[in-house]
Amino acid sequence: MKYAFSLLLSLFIISNQSLAQNPLDFGSDIRTADPSAHVWPDGRLYLYTSHDEECQLDFWMRDWHVFSSEDLVNWTDHGAVLSVEELSWADNFAWAPDAAYKNGKYYFVFPAGTGFKDRKNPENSTKWMGIGVAVSDSPTGPFKDAIGGPLWREPYANDPALFIDDDGKPYLYFHGKDFDYYVAELEDDLLSVKGDFIKMDMGGYEPKMEGPWVFKREGRYYFTMPENNRVLTYYMSDSPTGPWDYKGVFMEQEHQSNNHHSVVEYKGEWLLFYHRWLETPESDCKARKRQRHSAAEFIEFNADGTIKPVQRTAEGVADFANRIKRN
């Protein structure tokens, strides 16, 4: 009887462990945020993330990492793809990156900068940020800075997101103070801007935002963002440059903290990658109780293409392998 009880208990613990996939277990003990997901020609899903140093207080961040998986449960940690130490023009603010595959090359776009943000006396701030582009023959790098400077540094530019449309045209969306809801079409080699920035028509609603992410599903475009850098909301359009029609919230905020996400289809399932601020008891960090961890959820759509609200769960996408078998 005692044996049977222990066996049942062990089975219960094992089955719950296999269900608990959030935060994602990359098999390494680093803090990741701003996960940007892509499926590349080798059939794997790659997640490019920014990297929080332990206990960092003001988003002083130095490098970007990449992880890959075929089942979203077992991940390979490919290490850092790029560090600000490899840049001649920036030494800090290795914030939310993105990536693209075009003409046989992998492109890594990233925000970085220098200086110091004086939160008490903003007039003393020297911080600036721009967007760089690095290129590699492999999805896991090494990526090399391809320009030797930012694409631009005025306007202030952060949180770049690349979208390559079915006709091959590359677009770069970004978060820029006083320049949100602008998009730049890029030249075919993704190393310079084609023409002017395009101010998009957002249908009259332009809240403060960060981290735009654009995807296409069934011929319709989705412009998604952490609105007020907290709650995930979206617009829809028939064109990658708008006009956009605001549709509202698909993930609420948590702990009054920022969020940053990406949306991708993999093996017939639509997935939302995002980060959570979770208590991290294994960390010695006294200064900050919660640290950022990458997580994932299934994301579903209504018949009219609108996004169903997504809840944060402990199991995340643990059921991915079973779901794709059922597809």
- Please report, as ranges, the residues that interact with ligand FUB according to CB under 6 A: 33-34, 50, 59, 95-96, 158-159, 210-211, 258, 260
As measured in angstroms, the least distance from the Cβ of 320 to ligand FUB is 25
Tokens of 308: 């169903």
As measured in angstroms, the least distance from the Cβ of 262 to ligand FUB is 11
In the complex with ligand FUB, the residue whose CB is nearer, 78 or 260, is: 260
As measured in angstroms, the least distance from the Cβ of 174 to ligand FUB is 10
Question: Contacts for 248-255 with beta carbons within 8 Å, 24 or more apart?
Answer: 249/309, 250/224, 250/299, 250/307, 250/308, 250/309, 250/310, 251/309, 251/310, 251/311, 251/312, 252/309, 254/312, 255/290
Does residue 309 have a cis peptide bond before it, meaning omega lies within 30 degrees of 0?
no
Question: Measured between alpha carbons, how far is 234 from 317 in angstroms, rounded to an integer?
Answer: 22
In the complex with ligand FUB, the residue whose CB is nearer, 143 or 277, is: 277
As measured in angstroms, the least distance from the Cβ of 259 to ligand FUB is 7
Which of the 8 DSSP states describes residue 84? G
As measured in angstroms, the least distance from the Cβ of 50 to ligand FUB is 5
Tokens of 242: 């708008």
Cβ 297 vs Cβ 313: under 8 Å: yes
Which of the 8 DSSP states describes residue 304? T
In the complex with ligand FUB, the residue whose CB is nearer, 136 or 258, is: 258
In the complex with ligand FUB, the residue whose CB is nearer, 267 or 283, is: 283
In the complex with ligand FUB, the residue whose CB is nearer, 95 or 266, is: 95
As measured in angstroms, the least distance from the Cβ of 263 to ligand FUB is 15
Cα–Cα distances in angstroms (integers) from residue 17 to residues 22, 142, 146, in the given order: 10, 34, 43
As measured in angstroms, the least distance from the Cβ of 264 to ligand FUB is 18
Residue with the shortest CB distance to ligand FUB: 95
Which of the 8 DSSP states describes residue 239? S
In the complex with ligand FUB, the residue whose CB is nearer, 51 or 318, is: 51
- Cα–Cα–Cα angle for 66, 72, 78, rounded to 5 degrees: 20
As measured in angstroms, the least distance from the Cβ of 210 to ligand FUB is 4
Phi, psi values for residue 279, rounded to 5°:
-60, 140
In the complex with ligand FUB, the residue whose CB is nearer, 99 or 318, is: 99
According to DSSP, the residues that pair with 162 across neighbouring strands are: 172
Longest CA span, the chain: 76
Which of the 8 DSSP states describes residue 152? -
In the complex with ligand FUB, the residue whose CB is nearer, 34 or 145, is: 34
